[in-house]
Structure 1
Amino acid sequence: PTVQTWRSTQLFDALRPEGDDPRAVTKAAQTCGLLYLDDRAAARVSPSGGTPERLYEIFDERYTNQRPVLSTCA
């Protein structure tokens, strides 16, 4: 299985509409074998910009398809 490893701040930046390709990042995070998010406490999710919705899409899709997420908070 594939593993996607992200620092949460980097993932949230990549999910913003002005990122390179937020839709592709979302799809990759949804479908990889294991999603590893490091230091979720460090990232601030802005209510604007679509990041919370994209994050929900990722977690919902992973939950529905029983794909694991490993997350750390420091």
Structure 2
Amino acid sequence: METISKLMEYLQKTGVDTKPLWKNLQQLVIKTMIACEPPITQLCEENMNNTYNCYELFGVDVLLDQKLKPWLLEVMD
């Protein structure tokens, strides 16, 4: 998270309002996880006896265009 905090700090110093950007990034990640939920749930049900003792971490790569619109590049587990 330090990398994104440094990016936000840099953008703020250059006069960018980072609140809308942060909101857009959150929405992108939330919508991505919602879209991936059915296959993740199916794999969990097939391979785990108890869902309370298993965690999955995902990395999300995002590209920002010139207007600071985020674009999803890939999701890694």
TM-score by length of 2: 0.29
Higher normalized helix content (fraction of residues): 2
Greater RCO structure (CA 8 Å; 6+ sep) = 1
Greater gyration radius? 2
TM-score by length of 1: 0.30
